[in-house]
Structure formats: structure tokens, C-alpha cells
């Protein structure tokens, strides 16, 4: 059946290429649903428009792009009740060969059912890595997470918390040192606490911060342990509503400073961004 030509039909090509604004596109779709001529033409045009991506000149893919993208994508919060498996390419040992951070999400007080994690880490444990985690250390990690939650609840009064932390170690953990992290610039309102704890498995660093500036794009926070001029990454984290934490097992001692920097991405071996919080440690 032939239909009288409607001026709206002249918009088909623009519609297919994405050249109509939202209102025009909606009006055209209403027309399309009842215009046989446009429906027929649309199929032919779809062949052409659909091939446009295939006309793009091949480009060399940037080195490491796959690793970066999969690590970032898989580091996103997962829905409640589901568990993300991590491909080998996103393992901490490959993406950050110089460090082996152990990151433990701190529980979020009164977390809504959305399941959003308080801590969105940029690295995840692989099953192989998990095998290396002993039962004792796992228990310590849980204890530390609880400890972090306690600290978070009282972060409004960090000075008081310091006294508490020093006198009330949790379970088998012994708090060796707890220092308040100070803003590195006058315009930073963030607060933080670095705690060093010792258990039978070694010496561990727990760093927690609040009121951190909001991250943009691929930015991430990175924790550094500094010994003289040498800087060692203790891992990276993404903040959630300004709050983040990281847990790291120290391989060596003698660090004189702990600092959190705001980095352009989570993949640096050395600091590139500005220091947000820092504190001196008793070496």
C-alpha cells in the first residue's frame, strides 16, 4: 500500500545518523511506527549506518590498556548478593608488581541494601592470592575491619581515638603505633589515621581517611610509606563519599613517614599527584 509523502519522512536519514534532537527523534519515532515507507527505507539505511564503525582506521591499542580497563571495571562496586570473579590480568601482582597490598573493605555503618561498599579498591584478591592468606591472617583482617569501623565511628574525635587505640587493642592484635594524618594544605579538610598493628603474622599498617576530596575520572588515592628519599606504595583505594581505607602488611620497617596522595590513576610506582594527608612515623 502506498502512502502520501509526508515531510516528516525527509528526516529519516537524519534520524538514523543521530542528527535529530531528543524531541524531534521522539516525534519521528511516532511517525515511523505508522509509516510503511519509512520502515522499509530504514532497513536499507541501517545497512549503511551500521557499517560506519567498520570504516574506522585501525589504531594501535595503547600498551596495558586491557589491564587498566579490566582492573578499573572490576574494581567497581558489585550488586548485593553477587560476587565478582577476577581475571588473571587484574591481579594485584601483575598490575602493581612492586607491591603486594592486602586491602580489606571496612564495613559501612547502616549500609543500605544497595550493597555499595564503603571501600572500592582498585585491586582485588585473586583466588590464587587468597590461598596464600592464612586462616590466622584472615581472622586478623576481620578484626582489623571491625577495628576500622570502630575508628570510623569515632573519627570526629581523633585525638580521643588515639588514646583509645593505644590502650585497647582488638583481640590478638597489638597496636604498635597510631598517628593522626594531617592535611598537607590549608584547603584540605580531610582527616585520617594510620595505625600500625602487630600480630603473629607480622606488622600491618591500617590507614583510614575521611572527608577526602571527590575523585575525578581515573583518579585514585595512593598510600605511601617513605624512608628518607625512598617512597614505597602501600596500595591504592577509591573513596566512597569521601571515605576510604587500606590495609597493608609491612615487609620492612624503618619508615619515617606515611602519606596519602591524590594520583591521576591507580597505577603509579612513584607519587605523581599532590599529598593530601601525611604523618611522621616512629621509625
Partner 1 sequence: MNDIASDIEMMRRIAGRDAMALEALYDRYEKAVYAFAYRFAQDAMLAEEIVQELFMRIWNQPERYDASLGKLTTWIFAVTRNIAIDQLRKRQNRTTSQTADTERFARLPDPASGPEEEYDIKWTGEQLKGALAALNPDQRQVLDLIYYQGYTQHEVSERQGIPLGTVKSRVRLAMKQLKERLGDLERRRTPYDTTS
Contact pattern for partner 1 over residues 202 through 241, marking x by CB under 8 A: ---------------xx-----------------------
22 binding partner 1? (CB under 8 A):
yes
Nearest to 248 by CA among 121, 158, 135, 157: 121
Instruction: Name the residue nearer to partner 1 (CB basis): 1 or 61.
Output: 61
Give the range of 77-85, 156-164, 230-238, 271-279 binding partner 1 by CB under 8 A.
77-85
**Which H or E run includes 117?**
none
**Rounded CA separation 60/138 (Å):** 43
- What secondary structure does DSSP assign to 171-233, as a single string? TT-EEEEEEEEEESSTT---EEEEEEEEETTEEEEEEEEESPPPP-TT-EEEEEEEETTEEEE
CB of 66 to partner 1, least distance (A): 6
Q: Which three cell numbers stand for residue 33?
A: 511506527
Q: State phi, psi for 98 to the nearest 5 degrees.
A: -85, -10
CB of 65 to partner 1, least distance (A): 5
CB of 64 to partner 1, least distance (A): 10
130 binding partner 1? (CB under 8 A):
no
Whether 103 contacts 123, CB under 8 Å: yes
| Residue ranges in 32-61 that form contacts with partner 1 under rule CB under 8 A | 42-59, 61
CB of 119 to partner 1, least distance (A): 18
**Rounded CA separation 121/133 (Å):** 18
CB of 250 to partner 1, least distance (A): 30
82 binding partner 1? (CB under 8 A):
yes
Whether 246 contacts 204, CB under 8 Å: no
128 binding partner 1? (CB under 8 A):
no
44-69 b/e with 16+ CB inside 10 Å = b? Answer: eeeeeeeeeeeeeeeeeeeeeeebbe
139 binding partner 1? (CB under 8 A):
no
198 binding partner 1? (CB under 8 A):
no
13 binding partner 1? (CB under 8 A):
yes
* Binding residues vs partner 1 (CB under 8 A): 10-11, 13-22, 24-26, 29, 42-59, 61-62, 65-66, 68-70, 72-74, 76, 78-79, 82-87, 89-90, 217-218
Amino acid at each position: 500500500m502506498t502512502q502520501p509523502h509526508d515531510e516528516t519522512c525527509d528526516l529519516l536519514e537524519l534520524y538514523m545518523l543521530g542528527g535529530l534532537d531528543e524531541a524531534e527523534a521522539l516525534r519521528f519515532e511516532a511517525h515511523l511506527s505508522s509509516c510503511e515507507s519509512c520502515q522499509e527505507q530504514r532497513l536499507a539505511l541501517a545497512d549503511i549506518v551500521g557499517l560506519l564503525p567498520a570504516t574506522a582506521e585501525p589504531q594501535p591499542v595503547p600498551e596495558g590498556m586491557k589491564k587498566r580497563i579490566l582492573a578499573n571495571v572490576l574494581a567497581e562496586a558489585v550488586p548485593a548478593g553477587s560476587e565478582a570473579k577476577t581475571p588473571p590480568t587484574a591481579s594485584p601482582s601483575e598490575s602493581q608488581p612492586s607491591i603486594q597490598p592486602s586491602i580489606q573493605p571496612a564495613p559501612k555503618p547502616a549500609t543500605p541494601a544497595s550493597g555499595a561498599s564503603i571501600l572500592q579498591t582498585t585491586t582485588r584478591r585473586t583466588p590464587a592470592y587468597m590461598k596464600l592468606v592464612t586462616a590466622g591472617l584472615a581472622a586478623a583482617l576481620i578484626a582489623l575491619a571491625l577495628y576500622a569501623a570502630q575508628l570510623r565511628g569515632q573519627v570526629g574525635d581523633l585525638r580521643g581515638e588515639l588514646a583509645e587505640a593505644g590502650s585497647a587493642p582488638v583481640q590478638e592484635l597489638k597496636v604498635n603505633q597510631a598517628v593522626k594524618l594531617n592535611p598537607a594544605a590549608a584547603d584540605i579538610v580531610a582527616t585520617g589515621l594510620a595505625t600500625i598493628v602487630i600480630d603473629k603474622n607480622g606488622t600491618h599498617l591500617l590507614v583510614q581517611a575521611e572527608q577526602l576530596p571527590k575523585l575525578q575520572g581515573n583518579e585514585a588515592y595512593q598510600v605511601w610509606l617513605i624512608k628518607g628519599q625512598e617512597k614505597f606504595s602501600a596500595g591504592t583505594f577509591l573513596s566512597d563519599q569521601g571515605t576510604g581505607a587500606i590495609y597493608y602488611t609491612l615487609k620492612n620497617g624503618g619508615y619515617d613517614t606515611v602519606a596519602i596522595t591524590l594520583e591521576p590513576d591507580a597505577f603509579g610506582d612513584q607519587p605523581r599527584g599532590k599529598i593530601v594527608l601525611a604523618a611522621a612515623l616512629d621509625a
